[in-house]
Amino acid sequence: MHDDRTGQIAVIFLSHRTDADDAGYGEAAEAMGKLASRQPGYRGIDSTRGPDGLGITISYWMDEESALAWRANPEHSAIRNTGREIWYENYEVIVARIARNYAWARS
């Protein structure tokens, strides 16, 4: 969690799942993570989902161009349709440019 991310694009994905098709969702999430990591400009991902059902996934991109290219990836587009049909109750996407970041760890 300690790279300098200044100037990177953070794509924040907030979601609530339906109760449907946990197995298919899990497989797709894993496949999309791998696919994203092979996109040009990929700079990492942080993802978690809490017991109240809110999931937050943040993917990091070198620049706007690489973030938009990931959005346009055909496999990613297709899986988003499945997400709206089956897996998600609602979601929000927030695209932001990182101004600064810093980290702390117990020594």
Residues forming contacts to its own copies in the complex (CB under 8 A) are: 1-2, 5, 9-10, 12, 14, 18, 46-52, 54-56, 58, 64, 84, 88-106
Indicate the residue among 37 and 90 with the shorter CB distance to its own copies: 90
24-51 in b/e form (b: 16+ CB < 10 A) is: ebeebbeebeeebeebebbbeeeeeeee
Indicate the residue among 35 and 88 with the shorter CB distance to its own copies: 88
Indicate the residue among 27 and 89 with the shorter CB distance to its own copies: 89
Indicate the residue among 10 and 32 with the shorter CB distance to its own copies: 10
Least separation, in Å, of the C-beta of 26 and its own copies?
Answer: 13
Alpha carbons within 13 A on the beta-carbon side of 82:
16
Least separation, in Å, of the C-beta of 79 and its own copies?
Answer: 14
Least separation, in Å, of the C-beta of 38 and its own copies?
Answer: 23
State how far the Cα of 11 lies from the Cα of 41, in Å rounded to an integer.
Answer: 13
Least separation, in Å, of the C-beta of 65 and its own copies?
Answer: 13
**Packing angle of the helix pair 64-72, 74-82 (nearest 10 deg):** 60
Q: List, edge to edge, every strand of the sheet that includes 42-49.
A: 9-17, 54-61, 42-49
